[in-house]
Amino acid sequence: MTGPTIHDSTYSWLRLLITLLIGMVANAGMWAVVVVMPGIEAEFGAGRAEASLPYTLTMVGFALGNLLIGRLVDRFGVTLALNGAALGIALGYGLAVIAPGMVTLSLAHLVLGLGTAVGFGPLIADISHWFLKRRGIAVALAASGNYLSGAIWPTMLADVLAESGWRQVYVTLAIVTVVTVVPLSMLLRRRLPQEAHNAAEAASALRARSAGFSPRALQYILGFAGIACCVAMAMPQVHIVAYCVGLGYGPAVGAEMLSLMLLGGVVSRVISGVVADRLGGVRTLLIGSVLQCIALFLYLPYDGMVSLYIVSTVFGLSQGGIVPSYALVVREYMPAKEAGARVGFVIMMTIFGMALGGWMSGWLYDLTGSYQIAFVNGILWNGFNIAIMLMLLLRSRPRSRRTALAG
């Protein structure tokens, strides 16, 4: 088969749909811990920063898993990686259910995060090989499984949480993960023919760009940018439920706001994918980062229930396309043969940013008794990301044909 019959084909879109369904289930763990955080805090008598540790370790595991599982996908294929990760996710849920204290509970979430990672970076990397002309929208849709998971599961499991507690929520998710991810993964056993892969990489190289940095230097610059934007992103996403509980609105209202936020993120990711196919990754990322900063400012003066619903929706519509854009920037600015490792590293750093931001916001709340300083902290970190994207945009130029093909 030739490249054109493989890339952007009917099978490519079917594979994208299956990928999206798997992502919606596999990513549930990173959002479930946000919803159950108030229950954990109350049961174990923990402070807000301590109660944030399970989320923080979930994201640490998620970050490491994106790098490690991504390498397993390159070596053994996505199906085997998905099967192993599904069992790891179920194990993480099970260990959390029987955890007697905060330390063991947090370590259980590290295991959960490692498995959950399969639903993000590794799936994004896999689907990027099956698209050429519409790679931007394909990557954005694959990444949307993460946000759809957060939009759907907190609402679906709200009654279970209210009636049976957070442990029953985790038991339910463990069962759902195994009985859905394993069968769906068998539909992704098909591998991309080598000649089609080579043709796609040659076509991508001809559109490559340079910012005047070595690949390693640019990787570290993008890594810091990823940390900065995601420290900012974590404040509303991680603490919106706890914020609403503190304001007296209750966890159900907070879960609804989280769902609205993440549904808005899905819309934002789809739109950003379309924009990226036209404007490129850096411009798309810059637009999202500026909009996210504006949305964070809106949280400062408004804390009424109706206004928080609106602001949370605006926040979701603003920032959803940021993280997937990093994968596109790597594909545009770095040699194709290094793309897998570079994408894994940069996405790992964005997730570390989420982990740091989730913990830092809880720490600032404990220190000040308010989330206002935590929002300001997010805005300041967001400024670093904007500055880096502006620098890359100003330094950007097309790579020569010879250099692009050599890379």
Domain ranges of the chain: 3-406
- Residue with structure tokens 């706001």? 257
CA 207 – CA 240 distance, rounded (Å): 41
Predicted confidence at residue 3, as pLDDT, reads 45
- Residue with structure tokens 């498995």? 115
Burial 262-299 (b: 16+ CB within 10 A, else e): bbbbbbbbbbbbebbbeebbbbbbbbbbbbbbebbebb
Q: Taking the CB of residue 21, how many other CB atoms lie within 10 A of it?
A: 16
The tokens for 333 are 């600015």
Predicted confidence at residue 181, as pLDDT, reads 94
On average, the pLDDT of the chain sits at 84
Predicted confidence at residue 175, as pLDDT, reads 95
CA 275 – CA 376 distance, rounded (Å): 29
Report the alpha-carbon angle 398-403-404, nearest 5: 65
Q: Taking the CB of residue 329, how many other CB atoms lie within 10 A of it?
A: 26
For residue 139, report the phi and psi dihedrals to the nearest 5 degrees.
-65, -40
The tokens for 334 are 């770095």
Predicted confidence at residue 405, as pLDDT, reads 45
Beta bridge partners, 397, equal 210
Low-confidence ranges of the chain (pLDDT < 50): 1-4, 206, 401-402, 404-407
| CB-CB contact of 29 with 94 (8 Å) | no
Predicted confidence at residue 376, as pLDDT, reads 94
Q: Taking the CB of residue 258, how many other CB atoms lie within 10 A of it?
A: 26
Give, in words, the CATH class of 3-406: mainly alpha
| CB-CB contact of 255 with 237 (8 Å) | no
E-state strands within 100-148: none
